[in-house]
């Protein structure tokens, strides 16, 4: 069976196809081919663009990786250098600390030795001046007796200064034996001693109960003794003298204690000098003392892991605070 070419609709069988129709069909096919070819080219260009972008991204990523690796290498080198410097610094700090400890021990030993050796000639001076006043007082005029009295007073002051120097050396050298201590009871005992020493003084004490710590009993008693006696001394010119002891809150310690008075006070501008040895903010003629007591207080408190500071104003009294470290406070 032979297959024939489909004839156009409406033509008689055997009628040959029109050449124009063939031409139009061919042109249509060519146009479609050209269009598809253009689309293919556009697609190829788009793919090439995508590939170029991907290549650029890959190059940028490789560059970023290289830069990161370089930074990491530099960081590693810097960390190694910092580690070496830290190790060297620690060694130097250890060396300096050891040297400082030796220097402090030597200084404390020197202070103790000098103060101890001064006692003998000072006792002789005191004895001779006393003998001079007793045995030859009737032969001395008023000026001579005044000189003898000044010698005696100077030797007594020097003796007190030596005692305080020895105490300052002792609080740095002595071993610490911590135990529970009732500070309220200690302050009560100190006030009883002060009243017995000067029964004519009318001082009102306000002592808070239940202030307890873990501390070296002897050393912490020295702290309280100095602070309470200072308050007693600097309220001597007030008729309504009041001294208060209690506990308060501090951010860096579970126990913070204070001794407050309404006495002479001090200029807060010079508060940093209060705890330096031999530094005084009042004349000796107004308030006697050697200026070492508060230095001993600071040394003892620091040995307990705490700190000490003061607040006050001239003529408005003073408050001295001290803390103990959390591990030593209850």
Q: What digits encode the pLDDT tens for the residues 92-121?
A: 888 888 877 777 777 777 766 776 777 778
Q: Is the pTM of this model over 0.75?
A: no
Yes or no: say if 171 and 304 are a contact pair by the CB < 8 Å rule.
no
pLDDT of residue 279: 61
pLDDT band of residue 327 (cuts 50, 70, 90) is very low
pLDDT of residue 15: 46
**Phi, psi (rounded to 5 degrees) for 124:** -65, -45
pLDDT of residue 328: 45
Within 137-216, residue ranges assigned H as helices are 142-173, 183-197
| CA angle (142, 146, 152) in 5-degree steps | 145
Q: Is the dihedral of CA 282, 235, 268, 291 positive or negative?
A: positive
Distance, in Å, from the CA atom of 216 to the CA atom of 205, rounded to the nearest integer, reads 25
Segments of the chain assigned E as strands: 178-182, 204-207, 212-216, 242-250, 253-261, 308-312, 318-324
Tell me the pLDDT of the chain averaged across its residues. 80
Q: Which of 77-86, 194-203, 264-273 has the lowest mean pLDDT?
A: 264-273
Distance, in Å, from the CA atom of 330 to the CA atom of 320, rounded to the nearest integer, reads 20
Coil, helix or strand at residue 106: helix
Report the half-sphere exposure of 261 (CA within 13 A, side-chain side): 25
The better pLDDT of the pair 62, 34 is held by 62
User: Residue 155's closest CA among 131, 121, 132?
Assistant: 121
Tens-place pLDDT, residues 294-326: 888 998 999 888 999 989 888 888 999 999 875
Distance, in Å, from the CA atom of 161 to the CA atom of 126, rounded to the nearest integer, reads 14
């Amino acid at each position: 069976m032979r297959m024939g070419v489909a004839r156009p609709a409406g033509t008689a069988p055997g009628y040959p196809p029109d050449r124009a129709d063939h031409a139009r069909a061919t042109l249509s096919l060519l146009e479609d081919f050209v269009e598809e070819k253009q689309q293919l080219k556009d697609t190829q260009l788009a793919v090439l663009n995508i590939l170029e972008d991907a290549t650029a991204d890959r190059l940028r990523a490789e560059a970023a990786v290289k830069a990161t690796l370089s930074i990491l290498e530099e960081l590693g080198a810097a960390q190694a250098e910092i580690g070496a410097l830290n190790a060297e610094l620690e060694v130097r700090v250890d060396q300096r600390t050891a040297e400082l400890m030796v220097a402090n021990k030597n200084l404390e030993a020197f202070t103790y030795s000098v103060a101890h050796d001064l006692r003998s000639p000072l006792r002789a001076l005191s004895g001779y001046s006393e003998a001079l006043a007793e045995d030859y007082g009737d032969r001395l005029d008023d000026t001579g007796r005044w000189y003898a009295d000044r010698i005696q007073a100077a030797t007594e002051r020097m003796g007190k200064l030596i005692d305080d120097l020895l105490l300052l050396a002792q609080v740095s050298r002595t071993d610490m034996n911590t135990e529970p201590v009732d500070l309220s009871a200690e302050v009560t005992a100190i006030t009883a001693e002060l009243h017995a020493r000067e029964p004519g003084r009318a001082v009102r004490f306000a002592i808070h109960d239940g202030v307890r710590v873990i501390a070296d009993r002897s050393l912490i008693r020295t702290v309280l003794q100095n602070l309470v006696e200072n308050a007693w001394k600097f309220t001597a010119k007030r008729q309504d003298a009041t001294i208060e002891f209690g506990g308060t809150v501090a951010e860096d310690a579970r126990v913070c204690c204070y001794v407050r008075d309404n006495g002479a006070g001090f200029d807060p501008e010079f508060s940093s000098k209060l705890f330096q040895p031999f530094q005084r903010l009042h004349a000796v003629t107004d308030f006697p003392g050697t200026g070492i007591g508060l230095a001993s207080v600071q040394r003892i408190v620091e040995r307990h892991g705490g700190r000490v500071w003061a607040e006050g104003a001239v003529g408005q009294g003073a408050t001295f605070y001290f803390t103990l470290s959390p591990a030593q406070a209850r």
